[in-house]
């Protein structure tokens, strides 16, 4: 290459620009920040801020937009949120996760030859949570009407230019989609052609979904005309979705495809407004959802890592990576055995799991020179003054490998090394689905959401236009796998969805969330440490090289584990690679390993916001 041409390339290269250390610029805002998984959806949030909405209004508009765009979820999925209320100075947890339907018992799935509920199809469905979650957040904490907040999504349902990622996902999954009458009608507008899915940039229309959303708005507006309050009018729309004509068509359409959800299942489900769980790390309060999510595993990992001098180890040194991997293995082993729906017995030992004394006990198990592929769950009960009722199960955990399931997706891969299509299927499940939403403004409200469920390929329930959740697959049917997460009608599964909020000196410090199944709290943990231990800006942290462990049990498919497998970024130095191999790790490499993290950092020194949106995917933010 000629020297002058090389110099020109280096001059134009983003990484060579003076002072620029990230591939995407940080967002700086004085008034508000809106970040989510797609540019069009971030625009919806910005539109709501411009109308005078607060962060809850903007987050709900972005939620409506991403579900309409199938990124990577739909309206029949689930919504989990952490909200900072500046009036009470408290963090609120929103639990809008659906429940297993009538008839969804271990015996039912065993009768189908399944060791776990299936990955796809009508028997993977739980009740839809996102519509209820959106309307509850809006009614309780927002300012605007449902009509104003849903307006961008309704216009998109009438037709928007579909982006390449979703269009190609439809094409890849068309064999699944063709099995379900209403899914193929919506998703495959070019039936019998070589490409049956929409093309990138094509106007993608969802008239049934648009009609459903307009029904919700019509119900709200009618209630307002009758003199009802803003809150009660929104909840009237909520009632129409879960008990009215929308519910009736949803149940009819899903049961036509072989689903189990009944009208009483929908009517009996409610959004829960809960207390989050919290730990402190070097003086910072870190909040997560209760153990129906995997969020407390990040808190336990922080407790373990607080016993080490991570900064002295050096960012992504072999010693640091090894310590991080072992701490995650210990925390996620506890997740795999002890997490489930707190509304159902037995009670999860969360106080013991988040005890600092328990963390010190777990930290002492780390071999500084070698990976331990046999890490098991600990016994947190003595650290909360109790006795473990499942010591017999704990001694025999994990259960031995099973033969392949006979239906419902996934193949049994046990502990053997995976190759080819089997490895791709494992990785796809491990990092499956989801998007994230972050919003904040000068009013003081902060919102962090990790919605998911109903991703492509989804069953669309009748003429509602709503793709149903596949979240039942995160249950188990055998208490040997996890006695707290055995499927039962009315029960919520233990999910991977995990927004995060952190406060410092009583004020918001960081809001963050990421898509990616079992990798979510791995990425959020490392992003947090990058900022707190290594002084990175939020944009540097969301782009930084992360590691990925597969030693925890996959929450999807056949729930396998791959101890010792470790993904690193391609620029990992050779001496780090050598040392990690000597410690017993099987290494692989990717160009980008941060995960698609979205985050907001609160710069109290200057009175402004920093928004970070990873270069990993199509996530996008707007600030003002």
- With the C-alpha atoms ordered 343, 344, 345, 347, is the resulting torsion angle positive or negative? negative
Nearest-10 crossing angle of helices 245-256, 230-243? 30
Strands (E), 472-550: 500-504, 507-514, 548-549
Q: Tell me the pLDDT tens digit for each residue of 516-551.
A: 999 999 999 999 999 999 999 999 999 999 999 999
pLDDT at 2 over 50: no
> What integer pLDDT is reported at residue 499 of this predicted model?
98
The whole-model pTM stands at 0.94
pLDDT at 19 over 50: no
Strands 27-29 and 608-613, how do they pair? antiparallel
Give the bridge partners for 149, in sequence order. Answer: none
Average pLDDT over residues 366-391: 97
Give the bridge partners for 623, in sequence order. Answer: 33
> How many other CB atoms sit within 10 Å of the CB of residue 513?
32
Provide the percentage of residues in the chain whose pLDDT is more than 90: 89
Label residue 409 left, alpha or beta by phi (over 0 means left) and psi (-120 to 50 means alpha). left
Q: Tell me the pLDDT tens digit for each residue of 188-228.
A: 999 999 999 999 999 999 999 999 999 999 999 999 999 99
pLDDT at 77 over 80: yes
Q: Tell me the pLDDT tens digit for each residue of 108-161.
A: 999 999 999 999 999 999 999 999 999 999 999 999 999 999 999 999 999 999
**Residue position matching structure tokens 């929908």:** 266
Average pLDDT over residues 281-297: 98
Name the band, by pLDDT with cuts 50, 70 and 90, for residue 404: low
**Residue position matching structure tokens 């989510």:** 36
Name the band, by pLDDT with cuts 50, 70 and 90, for residue 401: low
> What integer pLDDT is reported at residue 417 of this predicted model?
52
pLDDT at 414 over 50: no
> What integer pLDDT is reported at residue 25 of this predicted model?
95
Average pLDDT over residues 425-434: 75
Which distant-in-sequence residues (6+ apart) come within 8 Å of 510 by Cβ? Answer: 500, 501, 502, 528, 531, 538, 599, 600, 601, 602
**Residue position matching structure tokens 């607060």:** 54
pLDDT at 18 over 90: no
> What integer pLDDT is reported at residue 470 of this predicted model?
96
> What integer pLDDT is reported at residue 500 of this predicted model?
98
Name the band, by pLDDT with cuts 50, 70 and 90, for residue 4: very low
> What integer pLDDT is reported at residue 9 of this predicted model?
30
Name the band, by pLDDT with cuts 50, 70 and 90, for residue 418: low
Q: Tell me the pLDDT tens digit for each residue of 244-272.
A: 999 999 999 999 999 999 999 999 999 99
Average pLDDT over residues 539-568: 96
> What integer pLDDT is reported at residue 403 of this predicted model?
57
**Which has the higher per-residue pLDDT, 1 or 236?**
236
pLDDT at 7 over 70: no
> What integer pLDDT is reported at residue 432 of this predicted model?
67
**Which has the higher per-residue pLDDT, 582 or 71?**
582
Where do the structural domains in the chain lie, given as residue ranges?
Answer: 41-80+126-273+450-472
**In this structure, are residues 597 and 516 in contact, taking their beta carbons and an 8 Å threshold?**
no
CA 580 – CA 592 distance, rounded (Å): 19
Which distant-in-sequence residues (6+ apart) come within 8 Å of 343 by Cβ? Answer: 491, 492
Q: Tell me the pLDDT tens digit for each residue of 369-378.
A: 999 999 999 9
Average pLDDT over residues 51-77: 97
Average pLDDT over residues 68-76: 95
């Amino acid at each position: 290459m000629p020297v002058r041409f090389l110099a020109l390339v280096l001059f134009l290269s983003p990484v060579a620009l003076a002072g620029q250390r990230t591939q995407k610029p940080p967002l700086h805002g004085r008034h508000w920040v809106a970040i989510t998984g797609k540019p069009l959806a971030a625009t919806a949030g910005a539109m709501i801020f411009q109308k005078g909405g607060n962060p809850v209004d903007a987050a709900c508009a972005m939620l409506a937009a991403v579900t309409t765009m199938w990124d990577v979820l739909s309206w029949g999925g689930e919504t989990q949120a952490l909200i900072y209320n500046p009036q009470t100075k408290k963090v609120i947890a929103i639990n809008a996760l659906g429940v297993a339907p009538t008839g969804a018992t271990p015996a039912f799935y065993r009768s189908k030859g399944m060791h776990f509920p299936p990955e796809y199809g009508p028997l993977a469905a739980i009740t839809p949570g996102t519509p209820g979650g959106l309307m509850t957040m809006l009614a309780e904490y927002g300012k605007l009407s449902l009509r104003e907040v849903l307006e961008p999504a309704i216009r998109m349902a009438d037709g928007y230019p579909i982006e390449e990622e979703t269009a190609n996902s439809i094409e890849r999954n068309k064999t699944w989609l063709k099995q379900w009458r209403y899914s193929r009608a919506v998703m495959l507008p070019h039936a019998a052609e070589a490409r049956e899915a929409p093309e990138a940039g094509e106007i993608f229309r969802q008239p049934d979904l648009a009609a459903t959303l307009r029904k919700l708005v019509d119900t709200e507006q009618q209630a307002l005309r009758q003199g009802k309050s803003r809150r009660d009018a929104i909840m009237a729309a909520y009632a129409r979705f879960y008990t009215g004509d929308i519910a009736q068509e949803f149940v009819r359409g899903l049961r036509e495809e072989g689903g189990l959800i009944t009208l009483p299942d929908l009517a009996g489900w409610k959004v829960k407004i809960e207390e989050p769980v919290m730990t402190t790390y070097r003086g910072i309060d870190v909040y997560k959802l209760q153990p129906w999510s995997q969020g407390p595993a990040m808190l336990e990992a922080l407790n373990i890592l607080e016993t080490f001098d991570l900064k002295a180890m050096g960012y992504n040194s072999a010693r640091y990576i090894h310590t991080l991997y072992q701490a995650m293995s210990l925390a996620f082993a506890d997740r795999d055995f002890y997490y489930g729906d707190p509304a159902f017995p037995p009670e999860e030992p969360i106080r013991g799991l988040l005890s600092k004394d328990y963390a010190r006990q777990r930290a002492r198990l780390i071999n500084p020179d070698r990976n331990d592929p046999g890490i098991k769950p600990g016994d947190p009960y003595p650290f909360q003054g109790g006795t473990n009722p499942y010591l017999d199960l704990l001694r025999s955990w994990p259960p031995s490998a099973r033969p392949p399931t006979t239906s419902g997706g996934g193949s049994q891969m046990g502990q053997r090394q995976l190759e080819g299509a089997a490895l791709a299927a494992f990785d796809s499940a491990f990092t499956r689905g989801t998007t994230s939403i972050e919003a904040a403004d000068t009013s003081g409200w902060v919102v962090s959401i990790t919605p998911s469920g109903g991703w492509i390929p989804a069953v669309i329930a009748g003429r509602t236009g709503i793709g149903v959740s596949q979240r039942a697959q995160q249950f188990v049917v055998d208490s040997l796998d996890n006695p707290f997460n055995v499927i039962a009608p009315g029960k919520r599964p233990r999910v991977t969805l995990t927004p995060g909020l952190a406060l410092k000196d009583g004020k918001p410090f960081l809001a963050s969330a990421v898509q990616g199944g079992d990798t979510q709290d791995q990425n959020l943990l490392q992003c947090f440490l990058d900022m707190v231990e290594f002084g990175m800006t939020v944009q540097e942290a969301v782009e930084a090289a992360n590691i990925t462990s597969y030693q925890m049990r996959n929450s999807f498919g056949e729930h396998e584990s791959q101890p010792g497998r470790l993904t690193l970024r391609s620029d990992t130095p050779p001496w780090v690679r050598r040392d990690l191999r000597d410690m017993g790790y099987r290494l692989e490499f990717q160009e980008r390993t941060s995960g698609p993290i979205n985050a907001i950092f609160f710069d109290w020194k200057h009175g402004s916001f920093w928004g970070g949106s990873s270069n990993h995917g199509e996530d996008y933010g707007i600030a003002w």
